[in-house]
Amino acid sequence: MSGQAEMDAAKVLEQCISGEVTEANALPQLLHLHRSNSKAVVAALSEKANAVVQQADAGAAATRAGSFLITVATFLDRENFKAAAADPRPSGNSKGAQKSKVSAPVEEVCRPLLDHILLLSGGKNRAAKDKVVRAQGCNLVAALAAAVPEHRSAEEKLVEFALDKVPSIREKAVRGLSGLLAGRSPSAEMALIARTRDQNTAVRASAVRGLRVSSSTAATLLERIDDIEACVRAQLFMRLADQPTTIEEFGPAAVARLVAGLVDRSSSVRGAAGQAVDAWTQHLGGSLNLLSRCDVTSDEALGEAAAAALAARFPEEGARVARLWLGQVTGKANAGTLPDGPAPVLLARLALASMGDEARDEVLDVPSLLQRTHAALEAASNPTSSPWQEYLLRQLLNVVALVDMCDEGLRRQVERLGEAVLFQAPPQKAAVAEVGTPAATSRMAQSAIDLGIVILRKCNGLARFQAQSAKHQAVESRCSTRIVLLVSEICKPFETAAADDDGEGDQSFTTRLSLQIQELNQATETRQQTKDNIASAMKKALKSEDYIQAQKLKEQSRKNEKELEGLISERSRLSEQRDGVCMRVLAIVTALLRWSNSDLRKDPALLGTLDQILLPLVSLPALSKEVEVAVVYSICLFCVRDGGVARSHWSLLLTLLRGLQAVEGQAKSSPEGAARVLCDTARAAVAARALADCARLHGGVLDRDEVLSAATALAAVPFSSRQAVHVARNSIFVRGREACRVVYNCPIVPIGQRCVLQAVSDLYAPQAAAGAGVNRRSADSFLSEFQRSEAVVPIAFGLLAGHAAGTQPLPPEAVLLLASSVRRRLQRSIPLGAPPPEEALRLASLLLQSAESGVRGRAQTQAAELVVRAAVTQWLHRGTPLPLEALISELGLSEALGAELLLETLSAFPEEANTREVRIDMTRAEVLMDLSSAAPRVMAALSSKAQQPNVSARKCLTAATNWLGVCEARADLLDGFLAASPLLSLAASQLQNGVGKVDSG
């Protein structure tokens, strides 16, 4: 009976797979057979699984059969579970109660079938060699593992499949592991975490979609938000949308980055991020609560992007928050109320910016806004204020800058607010190393003092960009004069108080403070020297057991220490006071330069700040590093704005840039030395950017020698300091074709060679050398950029010539790198400064002559072949007529080494002409016709040369084979020439000796 049931089950399976019976009819039949004899049905399914795995290479048919087996197994288990759940149980043991018949328990189908498929897949740590069989087994195991809970063997097998070398198998295994949500082990979780960094896109997407969000996986998931593929980023947000409560696992910076997914460049990612943000908003109770969890102050651009996206997605809540914090306030006490964080005002500001004019007028109340801004200014100017309070002030100032001033009274109130901002707002703080960088400049352009300048300009009727006219220039001059007068008012109270105390009215406030600080520095050094002397004397007294003298010295040490502490405290107080005034004045001047559209030659107040404020600040004694770099940055802004100022300060900028060479030898072990190096590097970076900007903007003012001096100074920067001037180095030569032609002349090429040599030395330094690995990555990046530059051909030719002559030896890797770079660049086109092909052949001849035995000799020979091919590409770019006749005639007269070089040259012509990398698409047909017509003469010359004893037979045969490929097949050529050619007999002899034993001599 069981054999008949098994035959019936196998027959039903076969009929359904072949299409004779529909699936809807086959499943009930199999269910009936299973309830009557479950073992027979499981045996039939196992037998069919054998055929499916063995015939995995059948393609779609095997895939359909495997899917049907999974469908049958899951259907039978599901229906049997339903029947068992609906089966009534006896209600008690009462005497009159009728007991219902309880059916025998039905065996599972998925579990034994999964065990059988695991055996077919090879078991633990074993797998089939054929990738098709492995893929089929992985597919079956992954599908059944989701239906069989807590099957450890299946999970371990899927973890093995997740490490397969075939991406499709890894993707199926990851999908199978993702389905084990109930009882996934830590090893399976670690396998999914590892697959999130897989090289295959589908594997990464499946791993991200199946990974549970927890404290241990939050960092791994967050890495994928910057994935290059949009589908992976979309799967991340879909995973997060399924678990909105896991938003607690992410920190403030991570939440801001996730919310910014609403403005992703891909529409699919934006849609998935919208679903996640909606789920988070519903979980947290509003978009404002979600924004409050974001870190909007560390990365302000990211925070504003997240807030703008939330304001656009939830406009009703944004309007409500804007009305609450920017609308009308009842009561004087409530007018100064500030939020507990920056999120409410940021959301209100961006929601207000997205509104129309009518809606904005309904929400915004300007008097209440000004009162709240004054309160924020007072809170931010407090020395004990939090950093976010200054951020809150800037948000309110941004809103004030949007206000339409419709009457004179409102304009005066806003103007007073702008002046108060210049007097009280804290200057934007930036590290010394960041001054002048694009990131620091962007932050400075949004500082409170910058916004104060913008507000004052708006009160004077000035926008950022306006057409130049006499009337507009007059308004600009009046505004600049007003702001410069405010700067003098900032220093006037200090100068008046100092003059009353000291009676020295002929010196400025900052000069007097600087002189006092200098005196305190000298006194501090004296006390420090006294402290060292007392310590030395005390050691001698204790060593000689003179305790009375030691006690006296101890009392002197206490007195000296007390005086030293007082001097240091006074110096710190004076330095803070002096630097505070200087930094505020410099911030106002630089902000005015950034936002003003005035002509400096027609604005005496603005131009006068250079001679009356900035240059005196440079000469102050005991100047702090921050103030020094800020002054240099302000002077550089003047140079960028005006060509005449740039020419007058050109030597200063070059001196600052060349200071990097002196910094290279300074010691960085002590704190003072490290601070000095950091300050010099920052000044040089600011000067380098100013030189590059001036060279691009003031082309009609600066002459050729000045631009060349800037280029020379930038090219001679030490390699370790290259990152400080990276942007300027890349942009200094962008002054049109004439400037590029000047750059590639001989004064610049040796400088480029020195930079490349330094990079080669750092890249190929021995591993054991001290500090060898420090600059290796930077050197590799530099050489990669050098290979893509336009100057690669002349510089590489010069270095290869020095190597061939023995004056500048290079490592074998560097020789091959330079030669391959020359060939790749010349394949595209002939750049400016490239030597002629004849000179390239002479260089290849020198490389062959100086080649030694061993690895260096082989590398040098390969480099010579690459240089020969570079020369051939130059001839191909120049077009017809090609110098084939001259090469043929010279081949007949050459001996040994010269013949080898000419054979390599002739052999390269057909290959390079047919290579797509050689960009001669417009003339390729004409070149190939010229080669075809010259092929018989070339082959005749090769035939005569092959008979000479000192010529390589291999190269003759290679060249003849290449030319035969472009030769037109004619009967006279085949019968008259090739039949009598010694090349055929030479090839036959080589074949008899063995293909791999071609004689080299």
If asked whether residues 518 and 601 sit together in one domain, one would say: yes
Q: Which residues contact 902 (CB under 8 A, 6 or more apart)?
A: 887, 890, 891, 894
**Pair (415, 337) in one structural domain:** yes
Higher pLDDT, 743 or 221: 221
User: Within a 10 A sphere around the Cβ of 738, how many other Cβ atoms?
Assistant: 10
Per the model's pLDDT, the better-predicted residue between 221 and 466 turns out to be 221
Say which range, 315-319, 520-524, 741-745, has the weakest mean pLDDT.
741-745
| Tens of pLDDT, residues 619-655 | 888 788 888 888 999 999 999 999 999 999 998 888 8
pLDDT tens figures, 181-225: 666 788 888 988 999 999 999 999 999 998 888 888 888 999 999
| Mean pLDDT calculated for residue range 73-101 | 63
Amino acid at 702: L
Q: How confident is the model at residue 97 (pLDDT cuts 50, 70, 90)?
A: very low
Number of domains in the chain: 3
- Give CA separation, 88 vs 56, 170, 290, 748, in Å: 45, 46, 51, 96
- Alpha-helical regions (H) of 125-217: 131-145, 152-161, 167-178, 186-195, 201-210
- Secondary structure of residue 124 in the 3-state scheme: coil
Q: At what angle do helices 792-805 and 749-763 cross, to 10 degrees?
A: 70
Closest CA to 306 of 295, 298, 316: 295
| Residue 18 main-chain phi, psi, to 5 deg | -80, -10
If asked whether residues 604 and 679 sit together in one domain, one would say no
Q: Could you tell me if 954 and 911 are in contact, meaning their C-beta atoms sit under 8 angstroms apart?
A: no
Residue 516 lies in a domain: yes
Percentage of residues of the chain with pLDDT beyond 70:
80
Question: Looking at per-residue confidence, does 460 or 771 come out higher?
Answer: 460
Report the share of the chain in percent with pLDDT over 90: 16
Give the Cα separation of 373 and 377 in Å (integer): 6
Do 546 and 670 sit in the same domain of this protein?
Answer: no
Is residue 334 located within the same domain as residue 405?
yes
The count of C-alpha atoms lying within 13 angstroms of the C-alpha of 972, restricted to the half-sphere facing its C-beta, is 1
Average pLDDT over residues 21-45: 81
From 272, 231, 236, 238, select the one nearest 254 (Cα to Cα).
Answer: 236
Average pLDDT, stretch 764-786?
Answer: 62
Query: In 642-705, where do the E strands start and end?
Result: none
| Mean pLDDT confidence for 478-494 | 82
Quote the CA–CA distance of 957 and 953 in Å, as a whole number: 6
282 in a structural domain: no
Q: What pLDDT does 306 receive?
A: 92
Q: How confident is the model at residue 43 (pLDDT cuts 50, 70, 90)?
A: confident
3-state helix, strand, coil in the chain (%, to 5): 75, 0, 25
Tokens found for residue 113: 């079938």
Q: Which residues contact 913 (CB under 8 A, 6 or more apart)?
A: 876, 920, 924, 927, 928, 931, 966
**pLDDT > 80? residue 19:** no
Q: pLDDT value at position 489?
A: 83
pLDDT at 432 over 50: yes
Residue 79 lies in a domain: no
**Euclidean distance between CA atoms 195 and 199, whole angstroms:** 9
State residue 498's pLDDT score: 47
- Can you tell me the mean pLDDT for 501-509? 52
Q: What is the CA radius of gyration of the chain?
A: 41
Distance CA 492, CA 502 (A): 15
Residue whose tokens read 């910094």 = 663
Degrees, nearest 5: CA angle 237-240-242:
115
- State the helix-helix crossing angle for 131-145 and 60-86, rounded to 10 degrees: 20
Contacts of 15 (CB under 8 A, 6+ apart): 21, 26
Q: How confident is the model at residue 289 (pLDDT cuts 50, 70, 90)?
A: very high
What are the angstrom distances between the C-alpha of 245 and each of 234, 271, 456, 725, 995? Answer: 19, 20, 47, 47, 70
- In this predicted model, which residue has the larger pLDDT, 626 or 103? 626
**C-beta of residue 627 within 8 angstroms of C-beta of residue 586:** yes
Q: How far apart are CA 555 and CA 553, in angstroms?
A: 5
Q: Which of 359-373, 623-637, 680-694, 778-792 bottoms out in mean pLDDT, i.e. has the lowest?
A: 778-792
Average pLDDT, the chain: 80
* Residue 688 near residue 436, CB atoms below 8 Å: no
Q: What is the pLDDT of residues 796-807, one digit of tens each?
A: 888 888 888 888
Band of the pLDDT at 308, cuts 50, 70, 90? very high
The C-alpha atoms of residue 196 and residue 745 are separated, in whole angstroms, by: 51
Nearest Cα neighbor of 874 from 905, 845, 898 is 905
User: Confidence band (pLDDT; 50, 70, 90) for 736?
Assistant: very low
Residue 678, Cα to own-chain centre: how many angstroms? 24
Banded model confidence at residue 947, pLDDT cuts 50, 70, 90: low
Q: Note the pLDDT tens digit of each residue in 649-680.
A: 998 888 888 877 666 555 555 666 677 777 88
pLDDT at 505: 46
Domain final residue pick, 743, 758, 781? 743
Q: Which residue has the higher pLDDT, 461 or 730?
A: 461
Q: Verify that 606 and 646 share a domain, yes or no.
A: no
| CA atoms of 6 and 13, how far apart (whole Å) | 11
Range(s) of the domain holding residue 704 = 642-743
pLDDT at 258: 94
Please choose, from the candidates 411, 341, 416, the residue with its C-alpha nearest in 3D space to the C-alpha of residue 373.
416
Which ranges in 503-546 belong to alpha helices (H)?
509-543
Distances, alpha carbon 727 to alpha carbons 431, 437, 631, 714, 742, in Å: 19, 9, 21, 11, 20
pLDDT for res 101: 41
Residues 452 and 495 in one domain: no
Judge if 449 and 325 occupy the same domain. yes
For the entire predicted model, the pTM comes to 0.66
List phi, psi (to 5°) of 405: -85, 105
Q: How many CA atoms, within 13 angstroms, populate the side-chain half-sphere of residue 186?
A: 1
Residue 646 within any structural domain of the chain = yes
- Statement to judge: residues 499 and 397 lie in one domain: no
CA distance 178 to 158: 10
Same domain, 334 and 416: yes
Contact 725, 718 (CB under 8 A): no
Cβ-in-10-Å burial (0-12, 13-18, 19+) of 385 comes to middle
Retrieve residue 550's tokens: 């030691």
Nearest to 184 by CA among 158, 222, 219: 158
DSSP 836: P
Residue 455's pLDDT is what?
92
Neighbour tally for 183: CB within 10 Å? 11
Tell me 109's DSSP state. Answer: S
Q: Are residues 448 and 576 in the same domain?
A: no
Owner of token pair 């059944």: 144
Which residue's structure tokens are 């939330």? Answer: 310
- Residue 142 in any domain: the answer is no
Report the chain's terminal Cα–Cα distance, integer Å.
84
What pLDDT score was predicted for residue 700?
73
Which of 414, 439, 459 is the endpoint of a domain? Answer: 459
pLDDT computed for residue 765 by the predictor:
65
What is residue 949's predicted lDDT score, i.e. its pLDDT?
A: 63
Q: What is the mean pLDDT of residues 415-427?
A: 91
Of the ranges 110-119, 128-137, 611-620, 734-743, which one carries the lowest mean pLDDT score?
A: 734-743
The two structure tokens encoding residue 637: 């802004």
pLDDT band for position 288 (50/70/90)?
very high
- pLDDT tens digit string along 951-969? 677 777 788 888 877 776 5
More confident site: 848 or 719: 848
Res. 998: pLDDT tops 50 = no
Helices within 211-251 (DSSP H only): 218-223, 230-242
Q: What are the tens digits of pLDDT across the range 510-545?
A: 777 778 888 888 888 888 888 888 888 888 888 888
Contact between 585 and 491 under an 8 Å Cβ cutoff? The reply is yes
Q: Which two tokens stand for residue 69?
A: 């087996």
Q: What is the 3-state secondary structure (H, E, C) of 84-108?
A: HHHCCCCCCCCCCCCCCCCCCCCCC
Q: Predicted confidence band at 743 (pLDDT cuts at 50, 70, 90)?
A: very low
Residue 668 lies in a domain: yes
Query: Is 8 contained in some domain?
Result: no
- pLDDT at 839 (0 to 100): 87
Least confident of 159-168, 773-782, 841-850, 929-938: 773-782
CA distance 677 to 667: 8
Cα distance between residue 716 and residue 706, in whole Å: 15
Q: Are residues 336 and 391 in the same domain?
A: yes
Q: What mean pLDDT do residues 282-304 have?
A: 91
- Can you read off the two tokens belonging to residue 296? 């909007």
**Residue 692: inside a domain:** yes
Residues with Cβ within 8 Å of residue 143, at least 6 apart in sequence: 66, 67, 70, 176
